[in-house]
Amino acid sequence: MVNRLIERDFCCRREGLMIRGREFLPQGDHLPAIIISHGFGGNSMNLESYCRTFAGWGYATYCFDFCGGCPDEEGRSDGKSTEMTVLTERDDLIAVMDYVKELPYVDDSKLTLMGFSQGGFVSALAAAKRANEVHSIILIYPAFCIPDDARRGALANSSYDINCVPEIIDCGKMTIGKMFHETAADMDPYEEIIPYKGPVLLIHGTSDEIVHYSYSVQAQNSYETGQCQLQLIKEAGHHFTEEQTESMIVSIHQFLKGKKEVLTIDVQITGSEVRKDTGTDKQIAVFFTGSSESPFFKGDIVQGAEDVQDYYEGNLTNIRADYALEGVDYVGDHCRIHIVNQRVNGELKPVIHTDSRALDFLNHADLTASIEGFTGGLTVRIFS
């Protein structure tokens, strides 16, 4: 049977303003739901590919345009950008939450909020406001910098005198009002978000020039110990490449399944050799070294690590990375971890053997991996 996906528009209201969005609905009943929020100057059309992916996983998924949150020619919802603030957007999102929770086919106990940039900040604010109604939140380079930017007179790359804030602030592709500044300048974002006690996934690039990743580090520290998973993507900016997005999607999928990142391994490529080349079939061995600095284990890759890659007519058909690490587990015992990582049914499925008693669970766990490339190497993330 083909699992048909229904796509259709929806609307709801917040204080007389119409909020318009789109629903992506898989078959089934009592569905978990995800609401995705766009960033400053964006719109919901940019989020539809994510919605289709999540709906394919069995989630009723929703994206929408914030009231006044898009350039005039792009937004579908009511409202003026000069009347928009992070708190009006928070209330827009809460209105969408109320709409979604009343749908008969949605399980209102399994609602996830996801947001990009300003939409990430707003999602964290909405989760804090309705802490008992949100199952989990996913924040992608969230703009926790907004209050600091307001206090510097630099909201959304604008420049103005904070001692004489103009009624209209020119931010390039959009204008905002003085109220945006006044609302944000008085906020401590890290105090605002702490009422939410559920699971948090926070993903941020280390080369983000719009929102420095240190804001996400501070956000993780503001949540309770163990509550927030922070994933820093090396060399990623305020928008991710296709490869970085693929890795992010794997991380989100594992987070939604309740899995956590147990090993993070930074790999440096040291060389390669062609082992077979018939013109049609090709096999390349890639050699590497590296290290792991993870909560469960700290250590280094031992000599002899290699990744054997098979190609057919120029297309990668199989990989098999085989390597070992030596180091110390989280209880302080010296140990060795042997990893074989290869693709199974489109996923990277590592198999681990370790002599660590503390990490024995890895010998039996259903593991999934993601890979993020950076200059001269890559980051391997293993989830359990």
Q: In what order do the strands lie in the sheet with 60-64?
A: 6-14, 17-25, 60-64, 31-37, 106-116, 136-140, 200-205, 228-233
Q: Do the beta carbons of residue 61 and residue 24 sit within 8 Å?
A: yes
pLDDT of residue 4 exceeding 90: no
The chain-wide mean pLDDT, for the chain, equals 95
What span, in angstroms and rounded, lies between the C-alpha atoms of 25 and 27? 7
DSSP string, 249-278: HHHHHHHHTT--EEEEEEEEEEEEEEEEE-
- How far is the first Cα of the chain from the last one, in angstroms, to the nearest whole number? 31
Question: Could you tell me whether strands 106-116 and 31-37 are parallel, antiparallel, or unpaired per DSSP bridges?
Answer: parallel
Q: Do the beta carbons of residue 67 and residue 90 sit within 8 Å?
A: no
pLDDT of residue 260 exceeding 70: yes
pLDDT of residue 285 exceeding 50: yes
Span 344-367, average pLDDT? 95
pLDDT per position as a tens digit, 44-80: 999 999 999 999 999 999 999 999 999 877 789 999 9
The pLDDT, as a whole number, for residue 380 is 96
The pLDDT, as a whole number, for residue 269 is 96
Whose structure tokens read 């600095």? Answer: 293
- Residue 268: how many other CB atoms lie within 10 Å: 13
Residue 255, judged by CB atoms within 10 A of its CB (0-12, 13-18, 19+), counts as buried
Supply the angle between the helices 86-101 and 118-129 in degrees, to the nearest 10.
Answer: 60
pLDDT of residue 1 exceeding 50: no
The pLDDT, as a whole number, for residue 71 is 85
| pLDDT band at residue 174 using 50, 70 and 90 as cut-offs | very high
Span 230-252, average pLDDT? 95
* Residue 298, token pair as written in the block: 């700290």
Strand ranges, E, within 121-253? 136-140, 168-170, 175-177, 200-205, 228-233
Q: What percent of the chain has pLDDT over 70?
A: 99
pLDDT of residue 337 exceeding 60: yes
pLDDT per position as a tens digit, 13-53: 999 999 999 999 999 999 999 999 999 999 999 999 999 99
From residue 266, give the alpha-carbon distance in Å to each of 46, 278, 293, 299, 325: 31, 33, 8, 11, 12
Specify the pTM. Answer: 0.94
The pLDDT, as a whole number, for residue 3 is 62
Span 247-257, average pLDDT? 97
| pLDDT band at residue 2 using 50, 70 and 90 as cut-offs | very low
Whose structure tokens read 């991710």? Answer: 240
What span, in angstroms and rounded, lies between the C-alpha atoms of 260 and 48? 26
Span 174-203, average pLDDT? 97
CA dihedral 50, 56, 57, 61 (to 10 degrees): 50
Where does 35-177 have alpha helices with state H?
48-56, 86-101, 118-129, 146-152
Positive or negative torsion for Cα 342, 366, 240, 79: positive
Give the total residue count for the chain: 384
- Residue 186: how many other CB atoms lie within 10 Å: 10
pLDDT per position as a tens digit, 190-222: 999 999 999 999 999 999 999 999 999 999 999
The pLDDT, as a whole number, for residue 312 is 92
pLDDT per position as a tens digit, 287-310: 999 999 999 999 999 999 999 999
Residue 215, judged by CB atoms within 10 A of its CB (0-12, 13-18, 19+), counts as buried
pLDDT per position as a tens digit, 125-137: 999 999 999 999 9
Q: Do the beta carbons of residue 201 and residue 138 sit within 8 Å?
A: yes
The pLDDT, as a whole number, for residue 74 is 77
φ, ψ at 321 (rounded to 5°): -90, 130
* Residue 70, token pair as written in the block: 């898009």
Closest CA to 201 of 147, 259, 122, 244: 259
What span, in angstroms and rounded, lies between the C-alpha atoms of 108 and 188? 30
The 8 Å CB, 24+ separation contacts for 88-92 are 88/14, 89/37, 89/118, 89/119, 89/122, 90/122, 90/125, 90/126, 90/129, 91/14, 91/15, 92/14, 92/19, 92/64, 92/66, 92/67
Could you tell me which residues come within 8 angstroms of residue 311 by beta carbon, excluding any fewer than 6 positions away? 281, 282, 283, 284, 317
